[in-house]
Amino acid sequence: MPTKVELCKAEEVAAGTALRVEAGGVTVAVFNIDGTFYVTDDACTHGPGSLSEGYIDGDVIECNFHNGQFDIKTGEVVSPPCMIPVKTYPATVENGVVVIEVD
């Protein structure tokens, strides 16, 4: 059964930035792209990089370790050396709080 997990207040994540959150047994990066929230695993699939500390360019996140890139909305790899997509979580905002569902 999926469990709803409250991550943070929407106002904590300014547009064009990301926030690392540990909650509900997952560690994720919460992205605000032009007022819409997207959530991915924080851990880069290539190594020790933390995607919330990467560089956001539109809807692409560039890992600050080896500059691999992912599509924030889909998790697909945009640029190597990453090979494996990063997990994404459908996110909603409920009463000003960013919420995901975790299996």
Applying CB under 6 A, which residues contact ligand FES? Answer: 44, 46-49, 63, 65-66, 68, 81-82
Query: Which C-beta is closer to ligand FES: that of 47 or that of 96?
Result: 47
Least distance to ligand FES from the beta carbon of 75, Å? 13
> Rounded to the nearest whole angstrom, what is the least distance from the CB of residue 10 to ligand FES in the complex?
27
Q: Which is nearer to ligand FES, 33 or 82 (CB)?
A: 82
Q: Which residues of 1-103 form beta strands (DSSP E)? A: 3-9, 18-23, 26-33, 36-41, 55-57, 60-62, 69-71, 77-79, 88-89, 91-94, 97-102
Kindly tell me which of 47 and 90 has the beta carbon lying closer to ligand FES. 47
* DSSP helix/strand/coil, 47: coil
Using only C-alpha atoms, what is the Rg of the chain?
13
